[in-house]
Amino acid sequence: EDQVTQSPEALRLQEGESSSLNCSYTVSGLRGLFWYRQDPGKGPEFLFTLYSAGEEKEKERLKATLTKKESFLHITAPKPEDSATYLCAVQARGGATNKLIFGTGTLLAVQP
Amino acid sequence: NAGVMQNPRHLVRRRGQEARLRCSPMKGHSHVYWYRQLPEEGLKFMVYLQKENIIDESGMPKERFSAEFPKEGPSILRIQQVVRGDSAAYFCASSPDGGPQRKLFFGSGTQLSVL
């Protein structure tokens, strides 16, 4: 069964304190791995798509990496506005196009 | 360019009533997806629709739930005879086409509370 597990469930950082969020996945053929950010009361907002092991993508203070079993979202020198829930999702080959399997997310709190 | 619009934002129903959730996709998008987010759980896929067609409803409960995306107007997720377990946030997402690996644009969701 296709599955996504994110850790930790919650993470509290001081402003400027870099860290990483983990997303482990089991999927019968990976079509793509997606990172989304979700603010309270809002829908998920797209951050990155990674397609193959070894791929990396960056956006401001965020950098996403992918291996054959997991993905990391590295946050460098975070700011309070980076506080949100970060969601990881995979799209498997063979299923309905664009159907995503989500993890339960990591709730990040960055304190000034 | 307006994003994905969902209404209502909050919907309160009593057990046994019907709930109708609406979703207008982004301009130029013809593919709509519904997801449900239960407390302490991740987003779960429910159904994927194209204009006038249901492409994949593998995540939709077999009874009481239905979805449509007519030629004109918004996509509708309909829940008949609601029960307390239906209380959740329902998110709609859209994409311009059904190609693989397309990123999805999500609305702000409808929070359904069943009393």
Distance CA B101, CA A32 (A): 6
DSSP annotation of A81 reads G
Select the residue from B26, B41, B43 to test the A interface by mutation, using most A Cβ atoms within 10 A. B43
* pLDDT tens, position by position, B41-67: 889 999 999 998 999 999 999 999 999
Q: How many residues does chain A have?
A: 112
Residue type (1 letter), A91: Q
Which tokens sit at B56? 């994949």
B48 touching A (Cβ < 8 Å): yes
| Beta partners for residue B31, in sequence order | B50, B95
* pLDDT tens, position by position, A10-65: 999 999 999 999 999 998 888 899 999 999 999 999 999 999 999 999 999 999 99
* pLDDT tens, position by position, A83-105: 999 999 999 887 666 789 999 99
Q: How many CB pairs under 8 A join A and B?
A: 73
B64-to-A13, A21, B18, B70 alpha-carbon distances in Å: 44, 38, 9, 19
Question: What is the bridge-based pairing of β-strands A84-92 and B5-7?
Answer: unpaired
Q: How many Cα atoms within 13 Å fall on the side-chain side of residue B88?
A: 20
Buried b (16+ CB within 10 A) or exposed e, B4-25: bebeeeebebeeeeebebbbbb
State residue B102's pLDDT score: 78
**Residue whose C-alpha is closest to residue A36's, from A111, A109, A103:** A103
| Beta partners for residue B68, in sequence order | B76
A35 neighbors A25 (Cβ within 8 angstroms): no
Residues of B whose CB is below 8 A from A89: 43
